[in-house]
Chain A
Amino acid sequence: MSFLGWITLAPLFGFFLILFLPRNNPALIRQVTLLLSLVIFAGSLGLLSGTQPDTNVPWIPDFNINFHLSIDGLSIWLVLLSTLLTPIAVLISWKYIDHRVKEYHALLFLLEFGVIGVFVAMDLFLFYVFWEVSLVPMYLLVGIWGHERRIYAAVKFFLYTMAASVLMLVAIVYVYLQAGTFSYPEILRMIGSSQLVFSPTAQFWLFLAFFVAFAVKVPLFPLHTWLPDAHVEAPTAGSVMLASVMLKLGTYGIVRFCLPMFPGAARECADWIVALAIIGIIYGALVALVQPNMKKLVAYSSVSHLGFVVLGIFSFTQYGMDGAVYQMLNHGISTGALFILVGCLYERRHSLEIKDYGGVGTVAPWLSIVFVVTTLASVGLPTLNNFVGEFMVLVGAAKVSLTWAALASLGVILSVCYMLWLYQRTFTGETPEEVRKHVYDLTPREWAALLPLVILMVWMGISAQTFLPRITASTSPILKQTTVNVPFQVQDATPASQEVADAR
Chain B
Amino acid sequence: MQQLWLIPTFPLLGFLINGIFGRRLPKQAVNAVAIGSVLLSFVWVLKTLSGLWPIDQPHIERYFTWFESGELSIGFDLAVDRLTAVMLMVVTGVGSLIHVYSIGYMSHEGGYYRFFAYLNLFMFFMLILVLGANFLLLFVGWEGVGLCSFLLIGFYFVKKSATDAGNKAFIVNRIGDFGFSLAMFLVFVTFGSLDFDKVLPQVAGYADTGTITLICLLLMVGAAGKSAQIPLYVWLPDAMEGPTPVSALIHAATMVTAGVYMVARAAPLYQASPAAMEVVAVVGLLTAVMAATIGITQYDIKKVFAYSTVSQLGYMFVAVGVGAYSAGIWHLMTHAFFKAVLFLGAGSVIHALSGEQDMRQMGGLRKKIPITFYSILFASLAIAGFPFTAGYFSKDEILLAAHHHAPWMYWVATITAGMTAFYVFRALFMTFFGKYRGKEHPHESPLVMTAPVGILALLSLFGGFLNVPQWLSPMFPLDGGAHDLTLVAISVAFGLAGIGLAYYMYVLRPELPGQIATSLGGLYTLVYNKYFVDEMYDAAVVKPLISGSRQVLWKGADVGLIDGIVNGVGTVARSVGGVLKLLQSGNIRSYATWVVMGSIIVLVAMGVAGGGK
* A residues neighboring B (CB under 8 Å): 12, 19, 57-61, 67, 103, 106-107, 110, 129, 133, 136, 139-140, 143-144, 151, 155-156, 159-160, 222, 225-226, 283, 286-287, 289-291, 317-319, 322-323, 359, 361-362, 376, 381-383, 388, 391-392, 394-395, 397-399, 402, 405-406, 409-410, 412-413, 416-417, 420-421, 424, 427-430, 462, 464-465, 468-469, 471-472, 476, 493-496, 500-501, 503-504
Query: Is the CB–CB distance between A413 and B69 below 8 Å?
Result: no
- CA A239 to CA B538, docked complex, whole Å: 35
Query: Is the CB–CB distance between B610 and A58 below 8 Å?
Result: yes
- CA A21 to CA B193, docked complex, whole Å: 59
Nearest CB on A from B15, distance (A): 12
Query: Is the CB–CB distance between B185 and A495 below 8 Å?
Result: no
Let me know if B181 is at the binding interface, CB within 8 A.
yes
A sample of 18 more A-B contacts (CB under 8 A), given A424-B167, A501-B65, A503-B62, is A19-B600, A60-B613, A129-B606, A136-B596, A144-B588, A151-B583, A291-B554, A319-B70, A322-B70, A359-B158, A383-B144, A398-B189, A406-B182, A409-B181, A428-B154, A464-B66, A469-B68, A471-B69
Query: Is the CB–CB distance between B174 and A159 below 8 Å?
Result: no
Query: Is the CB–CB distance between A286 and B147 below 8 Å?
Result: no
- CA A500 to CA B66, docked complex, whole Å: 12
Residues from chain A with a CB closer than 8 A to the CB of B69 are 318-319, 322-323, 392, 468, 471-472
Q: Which residue of A lies closest to B162 (CB)?
A: A428
Residues from chain A with a CB closer than 8 A to the CB of B600 are 19
Q: Which residue of B lies closest to A376 (CB)?
A: B147
Nearest CB on B from A136, distance (A): 5
Nearest CB on B from A367, distance (A): 14
- CA A402 to CA B67, docked complex, whole Å: 22
Query: Is the CB–CB distance between A465 and B185 below 8 Å?
Result: no
Query: Is the CB–CB distance between B75 and A500 below 8 Å?
Result: yes
Residues from chain A with a CB closer than 8 A to the CB of B550 are 290
Let me know if B595 is at the binding interface, CB within 8 A.
yes
Residues from chain B with a CB closer than 8 A to the CB of A155 are 570, 580, 583
Within 8 Å by CB of A504, from B64, B140, B558, lies B64
Let me know if B563 is at the binding interface, CB within 8 A.
yes
Q: List 30 A-B contacts (CB under 8 A).
A: A19-B600, A103-B596, A143-B592, A155-B570, A156-B566, A160-B566, A225-B563, A225-B566, A289-B549, A290-B554, A318-B70, A318-B71, A319-B72, A323-B69, A362-B158, A381-B144, A382-B136, A416-B170, A416-B174, A424-B164, A427-B157, A429-B157, A430-B158, A465-B64, A465-B65, A472-B70, A476-B70, A500-B75, A503-B62, A504-B63
Residues from chain A with a CB closer than 8 A to the CB of B32 are none
Residues from chain A with a CB closer than 8 A to the CB of B562 are 222, 225
Let me know if B507 is at the binding interface, CB within 8 A.
no
Residues from chain B with a CB closer than 8 A to the CB of A503 are 62
Let me know if B143 is at the binding interface, CB within 8 A.
yes
Nearest CB on A from B22, distance (A): 11
Residues from chain B with a CB closer than 8 A to the CB of A504 are 62-65, 75, 77
Query: Is the CB–CB distance between A468 and B186 below 8 Å?
Result: no
Nearest CB on B from A390, distance (A): 9
Query: Is the CB–CB distance between B599 and A133 below 8 Å?
Result: yes
Interface string of B557-590 (1 = CB under 8 A from A): 1100011001100100100000010010010110
Residues from chain B with a CB closer than 8 A to the CB of A144 are 588-589, 592
Query: Is the CB–CB distance between B64 and A409 below 8 Å?
Result: no
Residues from chain A with a CB closer than 8 A to the CB of B64 are 465, 504
Nearest CB on A from B470, distance (A): 33
Within 8 Å by CB of B610, from A57, A323, A383, A399, lies A57
Nearest CB on A from B472, distance (A): 27
Residues from chain B with a CB closer than 8 A to the CB of A319 are 69-70, 72
Q: Which label, helix, strand, loop or mixed, suits the secondary structure of the A interface?
A: helix
Nearest CB on B from A8, distance (A): 13
- Residues of chain B from 590 to 613 with CB closer than 8 A to chain A in the complex: 592, 595-596, 599-600, 603, 606, 609-610, 613
Nearest CB on B from A255, distance (A): 14
Within 8 Å by CB of A156, from B62, B166, B570, B609, lies B570
Q: Which label, helix, strand, loop or mixed, suits the secondary structure of the B interface?
A: helix
Q: Which residue of B lies closest to A472 (CB)?
A: B69
Nearest CB on A from B164, distance (A): 8
Residues from chain A with a CB closer than 8 A to the CB of B68 are 465, 468-469, 472, 496
Residues from chain A with a CB closer than 8 A to the CB of B167 are 420-421, 424
Let me know if B139 is at the binding interface, CB within 8 A.
yes
- CA A472 to CA B143, docked complex, whole Å: 27
Nearest CB on B from A398, distance (A): 3
- CA A495 to CA B610, docked complex, whole Å: 45
Contacts known (A392-B72, A468-B67, A500-B75); A382 close to B596, Cβ less than 8 A: no
- CA A500 to CA B193, docked complex, whole Å: 12
Query: Is the CB–CB distance between B570 and A500 below 8 Å?
Result: no
Let me know if B455 is at the binding interface, CB within 8 A.
no
Residues from chain B with a CB closer than 8 A to the CB of A430 are 158
List 9 A-B pairs, minimum CB-CB distance, nearest first: A318-B70, A496-B73, A398-B185, A493-B70, A464-B67, A290-B550, A382-B140, A286-B549, A322-B69
Let me know if B86 is at the binding interface, CB within 8 A.
no
Nearest CB on A from B444, distance (A): 34
Query: Is the CB–CB distance between A136 and B599 below 8 Å?
Result: yes
Residues from chain B with a CB closer than 8 A to the CB of A500 are 62, 73, 75
Within 8 Å by CB of B603, from A12, A159, A394, lies A12
Nearest CB on B from A459, distance (A): 13
Residues from chain B with a CB closer than 8 A to the CB of A464 are 66-67
- CA A49 to CA B546, docked complex, whole Å: 50
Query: Is the CB–CB distance between A287 and B171 below 8 Å?
Result: no
Residues from chain A with a CB closer than 8 A to the CB of B160 are 428-429
Let me know if B466 is at the binding interface, CB within 8 A.
no
Contacts known (A60-B609, A319-B69, A382-B140); A143 close to B588, Cβ less than 8 A: yes
Nearest CB on B from A154, distance (A): 8
Residues from chain A with a CB closer than 8 A to the CB of B154 are 424, 428
Let me know if B553 is at the binding interface, CB within 8 A.
yes
Interface string of B430-453 (1 = CB under 8 A from A): 000000000000000000000000
Residues from chain A with a CB closer than 8 A to the CB of B77 are 504
- CA A409 to CA B171, docked complex, whole Å: 13
- CA A102 to CA B376, docked complex, whole Å: 72
- CA A135 to CA B422, docked complex, whole Å: 72
Let me know if B5 is at the binding interface, CB within 8 A.
no
Let me know if B497 is at the binding interface, CB within 8 A.
no
Q: Which residue of B lies closest to A394 (CB)?
A: B185
Interface string of B146-166 (1 = CB under 8 A from A): 010010001001101001101
Q: Which residue of A lies closest to B173 (CB)?
A: A416
- CA A405 to CA B557, docked complex, whole Å: 25
Query: Is the CB–CB distance between B610 and A412 below 8 Å?
Result: no
Let me know if B524 is at the binding interface, CB within 8 A.
no
Query: Is the CB–CB distance between B580 and A413 below 8 Å?
Result: no
Residues from chain A with a CB closer than 8 A to the CB of B596 are 103, 106-107, 136, 140
Let me know if B175 is at the binding interface, CB within 8 A.
yes
Let me know if B178 is at the binding interface, CB within 8 A.
yes
- CA A319 to CA B449, docked complex, whole Å: 51
Residues from chain B with a CB closer than 8 A to the CB of A496 are 68, 71-73
Nearest CB on A from B599, distance (A): 5
Residues from chain A with a CB closer than 8 A to the CB of B140 are 382-383
Let me know if B204 is at the binding interface, CB within 8 A.
no
Within 8 Å by CB of B189, from A139, A287, A399, A427, lies A399
Query: Is the CB–CB distance between A60 and B610 below 8 Å?
Result: yes
Let me know if B545 is at the binding interface, CB within 8 A.
yes
Residues from chain A with a CB closer than 8 A to the CB of B589 are 144
Let me know if B191 is at the binding interface, CB within 8 A.
no
- CA A362 to CA B609, docked complex, whole Å: 60
Interface string of B515-528 (1 = CB under 8 A from A): 00000000000000
Contacts known (A151-B583, A287-B549); A420 close to B170, Cβ less than 8 A: yes
Contacts known (A151-B583, A395-B185); A429 close to B144, Cβ less than 8 A: no
Residues from chain A with a CB closer than 8 A to the CB of B62 are 500, 503-504
Residues from chain B with a CB closer than 8 A to the CB of A106 are 596
Query: Is the CB–CB distance between B171 and A417 below 8 Å?
Result: yes
